Structure 1
Amino acid sequence: MRHLKLIPDDTKIPFSRWRYVAVGLSLVVMIAAVVLLVTRGLNFGIDFKGGILIEIATDGPADIGSIRNDLGGLGLGEVQIQEFGQADDVLIRVAAPEGDDADRASQAVVEKIKGVLGDGVEYRRVEVVGPQVSGELVEDGILAVLISVALMLLYIWFRFEWQFSLGADVALVHDVLATIALFCLLQIEFNLQSIAALLTIVGYSMNDTVIVFDRVRENLRKYKKMDLAALIDLSVNQTLSRTVMTSGTTLLALLALFVFGGEVIRGFVFAMIFGIFIGTYSSIFIAGPVLLAVGVSRDATNGGLGGVSKEKATGEA
């Protein structure tokens, strides 16, 4: 019985031939991410800038103009009202009250809004985040991403060698910056779910990179005289079928969530879909070329901190 294969087992795609173009493109993306972050900035959600978020469902199609007029007379400052998902779903955002007792003031604002809207609506979600809490969440979110990348660096260093660790971490930083660039460019709301998406992308990208690096290490022991660029190409081609199948099945699940999961998780799922593509790309076109640039020991059978680099892989071993 023959099995259907999307990718043949004996592919010979010369990935290393395009490494300069790929690295150049990635450098542009990473620089653009920094520029966009400074100039355009992230569209922080209520988790990170504080405020009040109320999701309601009206009886029939929502009259956005009428709701805006009703809330406009309350003197709440900046109020954003938008349709959310179905025609009867409405999302209301109110800036966080300032002052020493911001939490109590926020609760008072919620009660005012409920009083104006009346009993003819269904309150599906009410979230209140104070300015102090939102500031702490920003710091904790940044710290979580930085710690995850640092721990991944140590993990690869122990499991392989520092050259592998450098390649994997450059790929991780690339993936994080590329995803942040997407958020800045499209102004997708950046909230706690976005941090979860970034951490998931880091884990997914690292898993894909480890699979490739495992095969590279095996081939380093097996092919003592093969040129390193050819050896990396061989390793990527040998793991290509597994990479495509894993990415494809993950994408199917994410696409289903994107279509049927609702607006609440759509930003998270969109970031994950992008992360699948960028993580697979970086494992092939970023991690490999970095490893090729710094070289790696041919005789490091155990790798990690205990591996002793006696001879760089330059092709003449």
Structure 2
Amino acid sequence: MRWFEEPSFNFIKAHKIAYYVSGILLVISVIAILTKGLQYGIDFRGGKEFVLEFEEAVEVVEVRSELTGPLGGAPEVKRFGSPQDILIRTDNPGSITDVQNTITSTMAEVYPGNEATVIKTDVVGPRFAEDLKAGAIQAIIFALIVIFIYILIRFKNWFFSAGAVAALFHDVLLVLGIFTIFGGIAPFSMQIDQAIIAAFLTIVGYSLNDTVVVFDRIRENSLLYKTMDYTDMVNKSLNDTLSRTVITSITTLFVVTILFIFGGEVLKGFSFALMLGVIVGTYSSLFVASSLVVELETRTKKA
């Protein structure tokens, strides 16, 4: 890491290239979302869930594979407490009794010597799903508004607020676009459910923390180097915090990657969203948020 001891990269000079890259990716994401549509999980679509208790532990992947055909689509399957308990969630349109009979009969065929007992059934209604969808959207919008106000109060300049919120919006939209494009293609579930919403809010927090560290250094350097050109001062601030930014991102990415590899099928979508968030969040802190601050500052002075 010796090349991070006294870095002198010209981040601001590359901001136009970053704008083009981000712009193209954002357009692709928006087009994908508008044309293909978001792939919501049962939390947002509504459906049925069953908890089965087996005499012996079974493999989640095998249960999902065996039920995909009879249920007309891949169900959401995960462990529910003990290794013998399995939670199955499906959006099959049949009655809850018919769906339950389909599941139990299939499990009886697949595991003839391992009896499964249904210990719980529940229905996620469309109305609840719509309320949950609206609540998730409101949570993200409210978070962005609060962040804008917080940055404005802390740095006493709306340029920083605009840069921070633009970077966060950029991060969430890109990750959402990737989930939309590769949903159904990836070998694991990329449906939007409560866990993915939690991942998006985590991405917002991570990216914001990284951005605030850079903004703090910009504020400090603006007082120390009052005669320095504003663009050069911001670039120096980015280089000053580069080592911290890279090390934090790499260590976080390492942990999240381990979670993706060894965390099981249920956590793959969540951990993949965090992996993307760390990468995109680091990029936006270096090339989007600060560059936008410089752009607004420059245009204001010219005006």
Task: Please give the range of the TM-score, normalised by the shorter of the 2 chains.
Answer: 0.7 to 0.9
State yes or no: 1:80 paired with 2:73: yes
| Structure 2 letter corresponding to 1:191 | D
Change (3 A) 1:283 1:135: same
Is the CA contact (8 Å cut-off) linking 1:82 and 1:92 kept in structure 2? yes
Question: Which of 101, 109, 122 does residue 112 from structure 1 map onto?
Answer: 101
Counterpart position of 1:247: 249
User: Secondary structure, in 3 states, of the residue corresponding to 2:4?
Assistant: coil
Change (3 A) 1:123 1:286: farther
Task: Tell me the CA shift for residue 7 of structure 1.
Answer: 5.0
Unaligned runs of 5+ in 1: 72-77, 99-104, 297-310
Question: Which of 134, 145, 158 does residue 150 from structure 1 map onto?
Answer: 145
Task: Tell me the CA shift for residue 162 of structure 1.
Answer: 0.7
| Structure 2 letter corresponding to 1:131 | P
Is the CA contact (8 Å cut-off) linking 1:52 and 1:127 kept in structure 2? yes
Superposed CA RMSD: 3.3
Is the CA contact (8 Å cut-off) linking 1:172 and 1:202 kept in structure 2? yes
Decide which structure has the larger Cα Rg and report it: 1
Query: Equivalent residues in 2 for 1:25-104 (5 A)?
Result: 25-53=21-49, 58=58, 62=62, 71=70, 79-81=72-74, 94-95=90-91, 97=93
Which deviations, in whole Å up to 9, do the C-alpha atoms of 1:132-173 show, x marking residues without a partner? 111111111111111111111010000011111111111111
**Distance in 2, Cα, partners of 1:94 & 1:82:** 5
Question: Which of 227, 231, 235 does residue 229 from structure 1 map onto?
Answer: 231
| Structure 2 letter corresponding to 1:172 | L
Counterpart position of 1:159: 154
Task: Tell me the CA shift for residue 81 of structure 1.
Answer: 3.9
Counterpart position of 1:181: 177
Is the CA contact (8 Å cut-off) linking 1:46 and 1:53 kept in structure 2? no
User: Secondary structure, in 3 states, of the residue corresponding to 1:214?
Assistant: helix
TM-score by length of 2: 0.81
Unaligned runs of 5+ in 2: 79-84, 109-113, 184-189
Task: Tell me the CA shift for residue 113 of structure 1.
Answer: 3.6
Is the CA contact (8 Å cut-off) linking 2:49 and 2:89 kept in structure 1? yes
User: Secondary structure, in 3 states, of the residue corresponding to 2:249?
Assistant: helix
Counterpart position of 2:210: 208
**Distance in 1, Cα, partners of 2:289 & 2:44:** 32
User: Secondary structure, in 3 states, of the residue corresponding to 1:52?
Assistant: strand
Number of residue pairs matched by the alignment: 281
Question: Which of 285, 288, 293 does residue 287 from structure 2 map onto?
Answer: 285
Counterpart position of 1:302: none
**Distance in 1, Cα, partners of 2:269 & 2:61:** 24
**Distance in 2, Cα, partners of 1:192 & 1:45:** 8
Counterpart position of 1:197: 199
TM-score by length of 1: 0.78
Change (3 A) 1:265 1:226: same
**Distance in 2, Cα, partners of 1:23 & 1:264:** 35
Is the CA contact (8 Å cut-off) linking 2:76 and 2:90 kept in structure 1? no
Task: Tell me the CA shift for residue 14 of structure 1.
Answer: 0.6
Change (3 A) 1:55 1:294: same
The structure with the greater share of residues assigned to helix is 2
Q: Which aligned runs of 4 or more in structure 1 are off by greater than 4 angstroms?
A: 53-69, 82-85, 89-93, 121-127, 311-314
Question: Which of 193, 214, 219 does residue 217 from structure 1 map onto?
Answer: 219
Is the CA contact (8 Å cut-off) linking 2:151 and 2:160 kept in structure 1? yes
User: Secondary structure, in 3 states, of the residue corresponding to 2:73?
Assistant: strand
Is the CA contact (8 Å cut-off) linking 1:47 and 1:134 kept in structure 2? yes
Identity score, percent: 37
Counterpart position of 1:14: 10
Task: Tell me the CA shift for residue 131 of structure 1.
Answer: 1.2
Counterpart position of 2:82: none
| Structure 2 letter corresponding to 1:80 | G
